[in-house]
Amino acid sequence: MTLALTGATRLFVIVGDPIAQVKAPGGLTREFAARGHDGIVVPVHVAPADLAAFLIVADRLRNLDGIIATVPHKFACFQHCTSATARSSFLRAANLLRRRADGGWHGDMLDGIGFVDAVRAQGFTLHGKRALLAGAGGAGSAIALALIEAGVTELAIHDDDAARRDGLIGRLAGLGKGCVVVGSADPSGFDFIANATPAGMKAGDASPFDIDRLSPRMFVGCVITSPVVPPLIERARAIGCATSTGSDMYQAIQAPMLAFLLHADRERSRHEAVREP
């Protein structure tokens, strides 16, 4: 890939804390070039305490067309949106923001779509299965919604933040699709296990599950992209489980991310409910 950066190049940023693990800058920048779009994605390391100040500056950068939010900024970035898709509004989280014509931001939340598509790419059918999910944060809430929409019969959600967990369970239960309950670290009896927490990014992290209770018939998925094979996935593969990784999720989410950021989804999004202040 040869980049010809000029003063006319459009800027997109991915903001997170930490940020070194993200895959989007190179991949999306290459895809922009392949589509003839003069744009570049730049990683920006912003602590939670500084996010509000960063977003105020972002509002004033006239060549900034999009913001990709990663951990832990997805809830806060949604609050900064002027409008959002129905999916993002339900979750109260956004991992993508694109500039509106009036200078504000329109948000969407695609983590769940990417995660479920990565699982399906491995040949696993979620419909009719029992699922256990660790994590009710930004990515976790999106994955929970996507699993319910994929037709799991039961979704158990495990999170140390009981208020966050129970709030998500209450909203999902209101959809009337499947059974949504409080989960635990014990994966026994489940068909599908998903880690949507950062556990496993750092050496020595405790697993969100009792991995000694995994069985070969289970499918195990994880959102972590670094290391490429997180400890949970390594252990699951060792006992014969089918798996999907954070890198698989990123590959699955890249196309819808591009469509959103480049407004290629405009006809579709016109028919979606939006959040307006």
Q: Is 74 a catalytic residue?
A: yes
Q: How far apart are CA 254 and CA 231, in angstroms?
A: 24
Backbone angles phi, psi at 103, to 5 degrees: 95, -10
Determine which one of 23, 74, 129, 202 is catalytic: 74
The three-state DSSP-derived secondary structure of the chain is: CCCCCCCCCEEEEEEECCCCCCCHHHHHHHHHHHCCCCEEEEEEECCHHHHHHHHHHHHHCCCEEEEEECCCCHHHHHHCCCEECHHHHHHCCCCEEEECCCCCEEEECCHHHHHHHHHHHCCCCCCCCEEEEECCCHHHHHHHHHHHHCCCCEEEEECCCHHHHHHHHHHHHCCCCCEEEECCCCCCCCCEEEECCCCCCCCCCCCCCCHHHCCCCCEEEECCCCCCCCHHHHHHHHCCCEEECHHHHHHHHHHHHHHHHCCCCHHHHCCCCCCCC
Residues acting as catalytic residues: 74
